[in-house]
């Protein structure tokens, strides 16, 4: 019978990032769905502004949390660092092949950190979260004149004689029509990226959850609970020890 051994894996900052990110993404998805369907739901302009303000504030928390995690990937423990997250590096593709072959045979190798396929999933999630954060910060300025670009956008679209500081969303009488149309053209690629990034992120979240459950069932090692406790218990020598 194999001897079970406990390993330290996810440090506290990594675990905090994960659960703060989880809560923010759930809130952003929920509010985003309501905003997308505001007309069908009969939401007023005032209600849409309130929803967008809430969306932006959750977005700020997500963006700060994401930047913090990217910094921590340079200074955290070895399982939290970029080298253990990003695909690539010495013998990476060989480890992918070995993992897939053994996964298909029903006996995948155990890992303390992310297995080779999970590293691809995590990298895509980071990319999509970063894309949503950047495009969302731009849209915060174009939609409701919030930082970091809100002051610049307000100064751009304010009608002659209107103080940009006093600009309100959904108040076309306060906007210079030509400047407003120019701004709308400027924001179009960002809103397109944010819109399709939303759906891509939902798909990747589902893949991430299914992957974590499958790894728990196939590999063992309490993959899910380790994000609470910081430890994995494995029954064989891990491939990344």
Of all residues in the chain, the percent with pLDDT exceeding 70 is 98
Q: DSSP for 69-91?
A: HHHHHHHS-TTTSHHHHSS-STT
Q: What's the pLDDT tens digit per position in 32-67?
A: 999 999 999 999 999 999 999 999 999 999 999 999
Check pLDDT > 90 for residue 76.
yes
pLDDT category of residue 221 using cuts at 50, 70 and 90: low
Residue 73: its pLDDT value, please? 96
Give 202's pLDDT tier (boundaries 50, 70, 90).
very high
What confidence score (pLDDT) does residue 18 get? 96
Look up tokens 């894996």; give the residue: 9
pLDDT at position 82: 94
**How far is 129 from 197, CA to CA, in rounded Å?**
8
Q: Average pLDDT of 182-200?
A: 96
pTM: predicted TM-score of the whole model, two decimal places: 0.92
CA pair distance 177, 26, nearest whole angstrom: 36
Q: Does the 5-234 domain belong in CATH 1.20.950.20?
A: yes
Q: For the chain, give the mean pLDDT.
A: 92
**Residue of higher predicted confidence among 137 and 234:** 137
Torsion of Cα atoms, 12 then 15 then 20 then 23, to 10°: -150
Confidence band of 1 (pLDDT split at 50, 70, 90): very low
pLDDT at position 37: 94
Give SS3 for 233. strand
Residues 35 and 220: their CA atoms lie apart, in Å, by 40
Q: What is the pLDDT of residues 6-29, one digit of tens each?
A: 999 999 999 999 999 999 999 999
pLDDT tens column, 111-168: 999 999 999 999 999 999 999 999 999 999 999 999 999 999 999 999 999 999 999 9
pLDDT in tens, 136-151: 999 999 999 999 999 9
3-state SS, residue 95: helix
Indicate whether 203 pLDDT > 50. yes
pLDDT of residue 46: 93
Q: Decide if pLDDT at 2 tops 60.
A: no
pLDDT confidence of residue 239: 85
């Amino acid at each position: 019978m194999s001897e079970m051994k406990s390993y330290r894996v996810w440090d506290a900052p990594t675990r905090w990032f994960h659960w703060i990110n989880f809560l923010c993404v759930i809130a952003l998805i929920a509010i985003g769905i309501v905003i997308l369907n505001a007309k069908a739901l009969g939401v007023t302009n005032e209600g849409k502004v309130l929803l967008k303000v809430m969306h932006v504030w959750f977005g700020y928390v997500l963006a700060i949390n994401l930047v913090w995690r990217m910094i921590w990937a340079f200074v955290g423990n070895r399982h939290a660092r970029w080298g253990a997250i990003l695909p690539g590096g010495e013998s990476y593709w060989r480890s992918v092949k070995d993992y897939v072959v053994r996964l298909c045979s029903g006996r995948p190798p155990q890992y303390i950190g992310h297995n080779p396929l999970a590293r691809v999933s995590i990298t895509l999630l980071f990319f999509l979260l970063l894309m949503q954060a950047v495009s969302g910060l731009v849209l915060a300025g174009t939609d409701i004149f919030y930082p970091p670009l809100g002051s610049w956008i307000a100064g751009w679209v304010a009608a002659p004689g209107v103080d940009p500081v006093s600009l309100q969303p959904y108040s076309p009488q306060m906007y210079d029509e030509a400047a407003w149309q120019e701004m709308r053209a400027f924001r179009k690629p960002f809103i397109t990226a944010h819109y399709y990034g939303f759906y891509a992120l939902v798909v990747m979240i589902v893949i991430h959850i299914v992957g974590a459950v499958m790894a728990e069932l196939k590999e063992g090692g309490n993959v899910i609970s380790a994000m609470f406790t910081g430890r994995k218990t494995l029954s064989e020598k891990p491939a990344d020890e």
